């Protein structure tokens, strides 16, 4: 079987640009065992740059024409000639303008296969307000929360949030990941600065009631219409909560326990809820679902779903599948196969109307 040419999209116009660079390098390295990799850096300004080998900067400016007859060709910005013609795309873009459905929409217009969820699922999973609404509709348990819009409108609403949800609280931008812009608020005086930080990244902010004594669990989901769950893992942060530095700093002492030390019944329930969350947003391909396990009650609460989870060497998504018997290279190969499968399904759908 001929090796497929897979374009890895990495970088992006997002606060998670640096994380994507590391994830992209890891994905490209593993994909190259079975596929021909075409690295495409999306720089901080949103420009696409075709590279001969994956690097944090540089490359020839290219663009993707959103027309099916182009068959996914990347054309040079200088003279519109074809620079590469990938068979499939693999977005490894975290956060806005990549994980939120924007790039997925472009790839759909171009009618090319791509790994991961489509426009609606990507947008819903990225926007924590939409995600939580879908979880509620599907009966997926989660911690109480409220949404604030626009920093100038939060005055009385912020006071009401504390009265309703109590302290401590978590304050998060609605559309971002990797714990960027996230604060834990223990006292009322800390809420204002936390909101300022979150609103610097988004026009909507989610405020969540903290689960005071909990364990942090994660599970990886793989599949399209019949998704499967990996073994669950547990995160023991090296600080107050699992923030950006705890996740990515070289000095981090965060522990990852794989598999998580859980009773079989609890582990099974985490898997069931992970698949329920995956289906609630209509995800496909893959995702990672994060949980809070309340020690006092044993309640399992879904925190969020990530449709393009981290793919760094220390990321939970590939580690959980490795512990479930799927190697990194095999995992990525399956994701490409799932992309081709979903694309074939899309191409069979009618786009005309004949009464």
pLDDT average, residue stretch 129-136: 97
Active-site hit among 304, 328, 333, 342: 304
Active-site hit among 16, 99, 154, 202: 16
- In this predicted structure, what is the pLDDT of residue 95? 85
Which pLDDT band, with edges at 50, 70 and 90, does 84 fall under? very high
101 classed as catalytic = no
- In this predicted structure, what is the pLDDT of residue 177? 62
* Model-wide pTM > 0.85: yes
Residue tagged 């107050």 (tokens): 240
**With 0-12 CB in 10 A as exposed, 13-18 as middle and 19+ as buried, what is 124?**
buried
328 classed as catalytic = no
Q: In this model, does residue 93 exceed pLDDT 90?
A: yes
Find residue 217's DSSP bridge partners.
234, 291
In percent, the amount of the chain with pLDDT more than 90 equals 79
108 classed as catalytic = no
69 classed as catalytic = no
Active-site hit among 306, 315, 333, 342: 306
346 classed as catalytic = no
CA distance 308 to 218: 14
pLDDT in tens, 175-213: 876 577 899 999 998 998 999 999 998 899 999 999 989
Between 249 and 296, whose confidence is greater? 296
- In this predicted structure, what is the pLDDT of residue 178? 54
Contact partners, residue 110, CB within 8 Å, separation at least 6? 64, 65, 66, 67, 68, 70, 72
Active-site hit among 248, 271, 286, 333: 248
178 classed as catalytic = yes
In percent, the amount of the chain with pLDDT more than 70 equals 92
Q: 275: helix, coil or strand?
A: helix
306 classed as catalytic = yes
Residue-averaged pLDDT of the chain: 91
List of domains in the chain: 5-114 (3.40.50.20), 132-140+212-345 (3.30.470.20), 144-209 (3.30.1490.20)
Which pLDDT band, with edges at 50, 70 and 90, does 124 fall under? very high
- In this predicted structure, what is the pLDDT of residue 339? 98
Active-site hit among 26, 178, 214, 230: 178
Q: In this model, does residue 240 exceed pLDDT 70?
A: no
pLDDT average, residue stretch 273-297: 97
- In this predicted structure, what is the pLDDT of residue 254? 77
pLDDT in tens, 52-72: 999 999 999 999 999 999 999
Contacts by residues 344-352 (CB-CB < 8 Å, ≥ 24 positions apart):
346/108, 346/111, 347/111
CA dihedral sign of residues 274, 276, 280, 283: positive
Residue 61 tokens read as 């400016």
Q: In this model, does residue 304 exceed pLDDT 70?
A: yes
- In this predicted structure, what is the pLDDT of residue 152? 57
């Amino acid at each position: 079987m001929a090796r497929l040419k897979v374009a890895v999209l990495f970088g992006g116009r997002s606060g998670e640009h640096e994380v994507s660079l590391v994830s992209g390098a890891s994905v490209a390295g593993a994909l190259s065992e079975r596929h021909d990799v075409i690295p495409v850096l999306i720089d901080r300004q949103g420009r696409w740059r075709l590279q001969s080998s994956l690097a944090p900067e540089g490359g020839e400016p290219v663009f993707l024409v959103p027309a099916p007859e182009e068959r996914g060709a990347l054309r040079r910005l200088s003279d519109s000639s074809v620079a590469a013609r990938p068979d499939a795309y693999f977005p490894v873009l975290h956060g806005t303008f990549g994980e939120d459905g924007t790039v997925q929409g472009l790839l759909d217009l171009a009618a090319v296969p791509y790994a991961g969820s489509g426009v609606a699922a990507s947008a819903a999973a990225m926007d924590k307000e939409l995600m939580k609404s879908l979880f509620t509709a599907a009966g997926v348990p989660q911690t109480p929360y409220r949404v604030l819009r626009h920093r100038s409108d939060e005055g009385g609403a912020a006071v009401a949030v504390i009265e309703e949800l109590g302290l401590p609280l978590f304050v998060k931008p609605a559309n971002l990941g990797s714990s960027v812009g996230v604060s834990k608020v223990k006292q009322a005086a800390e809420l204002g600065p936390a909101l300022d930080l979150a609103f610097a990244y988004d026009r909507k902010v989610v405020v969540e009631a903290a689960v005071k004594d909990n364990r942090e669990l994660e599970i990886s989901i793989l599949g399209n219409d019949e998704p499967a769950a990996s073994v669950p893992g547990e995160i023991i942060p090296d600080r107050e909560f699992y923030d950006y530095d705890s996740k990515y700093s070289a000095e981090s002492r965060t522990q990852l326990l794989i598999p998580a030390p859980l009773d079989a019944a609890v582990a099974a329930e985490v898997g069931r809820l992970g698949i329920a969350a995956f289906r609630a947003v209509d995800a496909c391909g893959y995702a990672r679902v994060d949980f809070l396990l309340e020690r006092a009650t044993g309640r399992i609460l879904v925190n969020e779903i990530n449709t393009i989870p981290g793919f760094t060497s220390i990321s939970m998504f590939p580690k959980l599948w490795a512990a479930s018997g799927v190697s990194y290279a095999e995992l990525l190969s399956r994701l490409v196969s799932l992309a081709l499968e979903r694309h074939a399904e899309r191409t069979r759908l009618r786009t005309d109307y004949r009464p």
